[in-house]
Every structure is written in C-alpha cells, then in structure tokens.
Structure 1
C-alpha cells in the first residue's frame, strides 16, 4: 500500500477523533484504532514515515503515531 494512502487513512481517523476535547484521549483512540485495524506492515510504514518526515500528518495523528512507536 502506498504511503500516501496510509497518510490519508491516518488523517481521516484523526479527523474522527479530533472532536474529542482531551487531545491525549484522542491520540490514544487513534493509536488503539490503528493497532486494532491495521496490519503490521501498514503500522510499520506509517511509523517510519512519521519518524522520517511526517509532514502530511496532522499534529494529533503524529502524537498518536509517536505513542504507537513507543
């Protein structure tokens, strides 16, 4: 799967959780959704993208991916 598609998917998930006023809870929700729904190759690719560039990811998604990588 192309990284552009993963970025769009991650940002779409982030948009859903963005209505949460507590951004820590929102980032945790994004992280958990990606853990449950994405296969390991997809997770590895989005983590690598976030660590190398991440410029197309929203701030909330970057926070979630950082949690995911830890």
Structure 2
C-alpha cells in the first residue's frame, strides 16, 4: 500500500514535496500500528521492496 501511495506522489515534480506528501499521508491516515510495522520493516530489511519515495518517507517518519 505504501508503494501505491508513492506511485501517486511520483508525479510531483519536487522530490522533497513528494517525500513529505507521502510521510504526511502515512501520519494522517495510517493507524499507529501500521506505521510502526512499516518502520520496523524498513529498519529490518532496509525497505528494499519499497518504492524509493516510500523508503525516504518512512525514513522521515522514523526520525520522528
């Protein structure tokens, strides 16, 4: 699902805006357990199966 969101934001010409948009969406619409699981997945596996923008957004979420 995070990859679908990233593909949507991929059309944003400003890379930083796209990453921020994804992170904002995840914060607003994903419940805390879902976000925590995604961050854990990213930490454990490096998020290699995530779209590049999704990986960056999850990193942003993990920072706090």
TM-score bracket, shorter-length normalisation: over 0.9
Q: Provide the alpha-carbon RMSD of the alignment.
A: 0.5
Large movers: runs of 4+ above 6 Å: none
**1:28-60: per-residue Cα shift (whole Å, max 9, x none)?**
000000000000000000001111111110111
Unaligned runs of 5+ in 1: 1-8
Unaligned runs of 5+ in 2: none
How many residue pairs end up in the alignment?
62
Q: Output the TM-score relative to the length of structure 2.
A: 0.93
Q: Output the TM-score relative to the length of structure 1.
A: 0.86
